[in-house]
Amino acid sequence: MTSTHQVLHGIGVSAGTASGPVAVVHPAPGVDADEPATTDAVAAGERVRAAMAAVSDSLTTKAATAAETAKPILEATAQLARDRGLAKAIDKLLGKGVGITRAVADAVADYAEMLKALGGYMAERATDLYDVRDRLICELRGVSAPGIPDLSTPTIIVARDLAPAETATLDPDLVIGILTAAGGPTSHTAILAAQLGIPAVVQVPGIDTLTDGEIVAFDGGVGEVILAPTQADVDLLAERSRRRSAALAGSSGEGATRDGHRVALLANIGTADDAAKAATFDLEGSGLFRTEFLFLDRDSAPTLEEQTATYTSVFESFGKRRVVVRTLDAGADKPLSFADLGAEENPALGVRGLRLSQAREDLLDTQLQALAAAYRATGADVRVMAPMVATVDEAEWFAAKVRGVGLPSVGIMIEIPAAALRSEHLLSVVDFASIGTNDLSQYTMAADRMQGGLASLLSPWQPALLQMVKAACEGGRATGKKIGVCGEAGGDALLALVLTGLGVSSLSMAPSKVNVVRAALRLHDLATCQQMAAYAVDARTAKDARAAVTAIVHPTLLDLL
Amino acid sequence: MPIRTVAVASSVGLHARPAALLAAAVNDSGLDVTVALPGGDPVDAGSILEVMTLGAEHGDTVTLSAEGEGADAVLDSLVELLSRDLDKE
């Protein structure tokens, strides 16, 4: 099928533009549906071992000539491919008469399930194990290995998803772009593509139905993909990319407005792995470390030792840079099996966040002890804040606990209108506050975040939300305490200017957004940001607010949006 | 059969990298070595998948056992390996 001219949108994960023919990476062949049952398990076991050795050797050979970043991934995959436990598990199935490729697939599936159940780093190894399975089955079926075909001309690689081992072996001279239908902005594929300097877009709907040789043009910065592009499309993309690179050039170092007003640029993270990745970006630390991942999907609370090890690893990743830790934010819609307080009519208004910590003080105490131990072990710039705080009593209760274990800095999240309106009183008992714009929007507009149909009420440009932020910042000014933003609004280049104008002193976002936000701040002075803030708060509607700000923005910024 | 017990020093437990190093060391020794959690079934310490899915955490005491020529020396070297924080190296 040859595509007609069409524009698709995905998530740009590696900036730059490319246009040219595509090569589609076909999915692995999978289990042979026609294969006979195994009758000679010993002979079949020997075939499997020979295939494992062949796959492992070919990966080791690739590793020898691969780039430094790719080497460890390939070596680890090679080690998995000759694993004794895997060979024995396959033997067991062959002994029961299971067909040879089915035995490989089932044995891998069992281990992959166990790894996924362990979560975190272990769950990611499951991807590598699936890659081993696909290579083994190809070897056994005598078909060429799945993955990137051998290329002779500059080509855009198109796939459903790419295994890390595949991405790692790409030749940047021949692979001029990567487009995938699946994958996420923090997948190995996205990170390796950026390291290799290959423009890439992930989550492009239906892109894997293209056929070899079709022409595509795309922009890896904004995620726009054009099928059957005209010459004008190609020229436009190249021109836009050139302008964006010029605007982003020199976007490095600390965040500040044109006249030097400092705004710290930080990363939102959820796991120790996120921390390690985020720390490689040019940013000033983490403004939101969500700790829920340690607690969700398990039967018992994580131990003091387990938590200490994880927090220590996160703090070490950031070195001297700040890490703002949010204590457990669970309950109701994110239930914990070991702290079930029963069903609620209105979970978003129920026992969640700090309220759960008050109901289950033991969970918070262990978490704070672990944070204190990790702080003592690393001497890091650790700041701890509570989710879902509404009253001064709650803030005082939390602050006493945090200070009681010897942690140096305590704050609160401002997500409830009550906290925004009374921020001066709340801030008088803590050291800082961070505004969670997503929840603050939900509670200000009485609109459920989970209801897609209410999206327009939940726009971060709603003047009522911005007025809440303004009220919170006034409390910050009155007490001399710092207020940050760690919701999605902080990663939007236009809103970042408005928030700065309102008095916010740090913005925490997905690490990939930091460059654009930094460039946006550098183009404007504080007075202009304050003007934008005044216009946005005074606007009648969300649409008017955005239009009023866009009207006075530096023209170069429009190339970055 | 020679046996040793050792507390896992690696801060992340016997996860990816520590498991890979242990399995590689066992394979290099040429001996059959098993590793077990207290009260658990022993698994093949030469298999990175078996070691990872054992799920041994930092501080867990694991039991290593081996059979054959030089088993004592091999076990001593493995104990030394697990006593280091392999994730830091």
**Tens-digit pLDDT profile for residues A218-256:** 998 788 899 999 999 999 888 887 887 787 877 889 999
Lowest mean pLDDT among A51-55, A377-381, A484-488, B76-80: A484-488
What is the dihedral sign for C-alpha A289, A290, A294, A295? Answer: positive
Q: Which domains does chain A have, with CATH numbers?
A: 6-26+147-242 (3.50.30.10), 41-141 (1.10.274.10), 264-558 (3.20.20.60)
Of the partner residues B11, B48, B55, the one whose CB lies closest to the CB of residue A83: B48
What per-residue confidence (pLDDT) applies to B89? 59
Q: Which of A138, A473, A486, A529 is catalytic?
A: A486
Which contacts (CB < 8 Å, 24+ apart) does range A173-182 have?
A175/A148, A175/A151, A176/A18, A176/A20, A177/A18, A177/A20, A177/A216, A177/A218, A177/A220, A178/A14, A179/A10, A179/A22, A179/A204, A179/A207, A179/A216, A179/A218, A179/A225, A180/A204, A180/A207, A180/A208, A181/A205, A181/A206, A181/A207, A181/A208
Instruction: Between A124 and A428, name the one with better pLDDT.
Output: A428
Confidence of residue A149 (pLDDT cuts 50, 70, 90): confident
Residue to mutate among B12, B22, B49, B58, with most A CBs inside 10 A, is: B49
Q: Hunting for tokens 């509607």 — which residue is that? A: A541
Strands A224-227 and A6-9: what pairing? antiparallel
| pLDDT reading at A504 higher than 80 | yes
B52/A118 Cβ within 8 A: yes
Please report the pLDDT score of residue A187 as a whole number.
65
Residue A96 in contact with partner chain B when CB distance is under 8 A: no
CB of A76 less than 8 A from some CB of B: yes
The pLDDT tens digits of the residues spanning A9-41 come to 888 888 788 999 999 887 777 888 889 999 999
Nearest to A16 by CA among A171, A198, A159: A198
What average pLDDT does the structure give for chain A?
Answer: 89
The Cβ-side half-sphere exposure at B33, using a 13 Å CA radius, reads: 33
Angle at A309 between CA A306 and CA A314, to 5 degrees: 125
Q: Per residue in A167-203, pLDDT tens?
A: 767 777 889 999 998 876 656 677 678 767 789 998 8
pTM for this predicted structure: 0.62
- Give the mean model confidence (pLDDT) for residues A294-323: 92
Q: A118–B55: do the CB atoms touch at under 8 Å?
A: yes
Q: Which residues contact A248 (CB under 8 A, 6 or more apart)?
A: A15, A515, A516, A519, A560
A88 at B interface, C-beta within 8 A: yes
Residue listed under structure tokens 């923005």: A553
SS3 state of residue A18? strand
Nearest C-alpha of chain A: how many angstroms from B37?
16
pLDDT for res B37: 92
pLDDT tens-digit map of A111-134: 999 988 887 677 777 878 988 999
Please report the pLDDT score of residue A257 as a whole number.
97
Q: Is the pLDDT of residue A520 over 90?
A: yes
- ipTM at complex level: 0.91
Question: What is the CATH superfamily name and number for domain B3-88?
Answer: HPr-like (3.30.1340.10)
- Tell me the chain A residues in contact with residue B59 when contact means C-beta distances shorter than 8 Å: 305
Q: Which helix (H) or strand (E) holds A379?
A: none
- The domain ranges of chain B are 3-88
Chain B hits for A88, CB-CB cut-off 8 Å, are 44, 47
Side-by-side strand order, sheet with B61-67: B3-7, B61-67, B32-36, B43-44
Query: Would you state the pLDDT for residue B88?
Result: 61
Give me the phi and psi of A84, to 5 degrees please: -65, -40
Report the C-alpha gap between A193 and A196 in whole angstroms: 5
Q: Residue A392: which pLDDT band, with cuts at 50, 70 and 90?
A: very high
B50/chain A closest Cα distance in angstroms = 6
Cα distances from A100 to residues A52, A112, A137, B78, in angstroms, run: 13, 18, 9, 35
Give the residue among A527, A561, A510, A520 at the shortest CA–CA distance from A255: A520
Shortest CA gap B13–chain A (Å): 9
**Res A1 pLDDT > 60:** no
Alpha helix segments (H runs only) across A319-385: 354-359, 361-378
Q: Does the active-site annotation cover A188? A: yes
pLDDT given at position A164: 66
Q: How far lies A204's CA from each of A183, A190, A225, A235, in Å?
A: 9, 13, 8, 22
Section B67-88 average pLDDT: 87
Q: How confident is the model at residue A205 (pLDDT cuts 50, 70, 90)?
A: confident
Mean pLDDT value of segment B57-73: 91
Task: Test B49 with A80 for CB contact under 8 angstroms.
Answer: yes
Per cent of chain A over pLDDT 70 is 95
Question: pLDDT tens across A255-294, in order?
Answer: 999 999 999 999 999 888 889 888 999 999 999 999 988 8
Torsions phi, psi for A34 (to 5 deg): -100, 5
List all residues of chain A from 294 to 313 with a beta carbon under 8 Å from chain B.
303, 305-306, 309, 312-313
Which among A52, A82, A83, A308 is the top mutation candidate for probing chain B, defined by the most B β-carbons within 10 Å of its own β-carbon? A83
Residue A524 pLDDT class (50, 70, 90 cuts): very high
Q: A464 or A301: which carries more pLDDT confidence?
A: A464
Q: Where are the beta strands (DSSP E) in A318-431?
A: 322-326, 382-386, 410-414
Distance CA B54, CA A256 (A): 49
**Which of A212, A151, A204 has its CA nearest to residue A176?**
A151
Hey, are the CB atoms on B20 and A88 less than 8 Å from each other?
no
